[in-house]
Chains A and B, each alone.
Chain A
């Protein structure tokens, strides 16, 4: 039972480069999320998806794109990387409880540095 798997764990990018953070879950969860974690700031929601083919913006979507072609996968794309995108990125998934009180399962995180 792998849960939520993120790759890579670490990456250094140069300003202006692009990359994709991969996220896959094997729990058949319909909801998936991308958060970024900055020191002293908690976690901020970047994008989320309520099911395959459906994505929506969170609090801090600028500079990122996502897609959800399957239930399992939810990649996060960074176009034209900037130093402000240096952060730890967490992917999460959940099932719907019908009450809006979803319990999220998190991946181990991907630490990205943009120099």
Chain B
């Protein structure tokens, strides 16, 4: 079956630091890959997505590239801000459903 494994947290960074959250997946077929973000007390919001191998999703300074050869979709941001503090979820989309990773809590200190 489909599954997603993402880097365990929590992750604590200083403002302007580089952020990487690792995500790998197991799937049959050709899934789509997503990163969702959850701010405190809110539901999940789509951050970015990629629908096929070598696609790069990007949004708000975040990027992730769909790597079929390594079955990975790592999230990166070059310079984080306090407002990026949130829980980040990697997800795999197949058959109109999403399978989520466990989530990584990121805290950015001023």
B77 CB-CB contact with A under 8 Å: no
Stretch of A64-72, A76-84, A106-114 with 4 or more beta carbons under 8 angstroms from chain B? A106-114
Residues A101 and B44 in contact in the complex (CB < 8 Å), given A42-B89, A96-B96: no
A109's nearest neighbour on chain B, judged by CB, is B43
- Whole-angstrom CA separation of A100 from B97 in the bound complex: 8
Helix, strand, loop or mixed for chain B's interface?
A: strand
Taking a contact as CB atoms under 8 Å apart, the answer to whether B46 and A103 are in contact is yes
Chain A contacts with B in 12-68, Cβ cutoff 8 A: 31, 33, 35, 40-45, 48, 50, 58
> B45: which A residues are within 8 A, CB to CB?
106
A1 CB-CB contact with B under 8 Å: no
> A40: which B residues are within 8 A, CB to CB?
102-103
CB distance from B13 to the nearest CB of A (A): 20
Taking a contact as CB atoms under 8 Å apart, the answer to whether A99 and B51 are in contact is yes
Chain B contacts with A in 59-110, Cβ cutoff 8 A: 89, 93-103
A41's nearest neighbour on chain B, judged by CB, is B102
> B97: which A residues are within 8 A, CB to CB?
33, 45, 48, 58, 102
> A96: which B residues are within 8 A, CB to CB?
96
Q: Which of B89, B96, B99, B100 contacts A94 (CB 8 A)?
A: B96
CB distance from A4 to the nearest CB of B (A): 8
> A92: which B residues are within 8 A, CB to CB?
43-44
- Whole-angstrom CA separation of A42 from B32 in the bound complex: 18
> B43: which A residues are within 8 A, CB to CB?
4, 90, 92, 106-109
Which of B's residues lie within 8 Å of A, judged by CB? 4, 31-32, 34, 41-46, 49, 51, 89, 93-103
Which of A's residues lie within 8 Å of B, judged by CB? 4, 31, 33, 35, 40-45, 48, 50, 58, 90, 92, 94, 96, 99-104, 106-109
10 further contact pairs, Cβ within 8 A, besides A33-B98, A42-B4: A4-B43, A35-B100, A42-B102, A45-B98, A45-B99, A48-B96, A94-B96, A99-B32, A106-B44, A108-B42
